[in-house]
Copies of this chain bind each other. A is one copy, B any other.
Amino acid sequence: MTDGTLTAEQIITAAQDVLRRYGPAKTTVVDVARALGVSHGSVYRHFPSKAALREAVTQRWLDESHAPLMAAVRTPGPAGARLHNWLAVLFAAKRKKALDDPELFATYMVLVAESSEVIERHLADLVGQLERIIGDGVARGEFTPVDVRATARAVFDSTVRFHDPVFAPDWGKPGIERAFDAVWDLIHAGLAKR
């Protein structure tokens, strides 16, 4: 590969591979450059520091989980069904990542812990998506009128057991689906118009 054609996306992909192979503690910018067959200066031209590159990898990993969620936000129809779908898609995506490749998941947990700004923006985006669905539900007369922003945050917080990676060890246990359904029933009843 010649330096002139090297894109940020290619560097992020290579960094992902290297992180998977060496783990977050041992990966260096030189390793990433070597995997691409370029000098480390070429990598630094796109990412001013190792931290910036790691943040970009984290950002992409989080963005990947957004695509199916945005589909749940945009799908027309009753807000209750859309909200259930959104929460179920989020849980399924996190769970799949945690159970299918626990080592890579652990790597990302290390990266995420380093990037509090990236993760805070990500969480704000997710709560914003919930706001859209809940706002629509109120506008349709399907949900009871509430402080939409506070309620979106409450829905996110009350389902934390099904999306926060600290609970990943529980996600393969029997009964976890039933627990999800019970929490859904409770919060859905809390939202529904009386």
Contact = CB atoms under 8 A, between A and B. Distances in A.
A150 interface: yes
Contacts of A146: 185
A26 interface: no
Contact of A182 (B154, B182, B191): B154
Interface stretch (A17-25, A31-39, A52-60, A158-166): A158-166
A183 B166 contact: no
Q: Which of A147, A155, A160, A179 has the most CB of B within 10 A?
A: A160
A187 to B, nearest CB: 6
A146 B187 CA distance: 13
A152 to B, nearest CB: 9
A166 to B, nearest CB: 5
B178 A158 contact: no
A144 interface: yes
B191 A194 contact: no
A146 B182 CA distance: 10
A69 to B, nearest CB: 20
A179 B154 contact: yes
Contact of A194 (B161, B188, B194): B194
A186 interface: yes
Contacts of A150: 178, 182, 185
A190 B166 CA distance: 26
B190 A155 contact: no
A81 interface: no
Q: Which of A160, A186, A187 has the most CB of B within 10 A?
A: A186
Given A160-B160, A185-B190, A190-B190, 9 more contacts: A151-B185, A154-B185, A158-B158, A158-B161, A160-B161, A186-B191, A187-B187, A189-B189, A189-B190
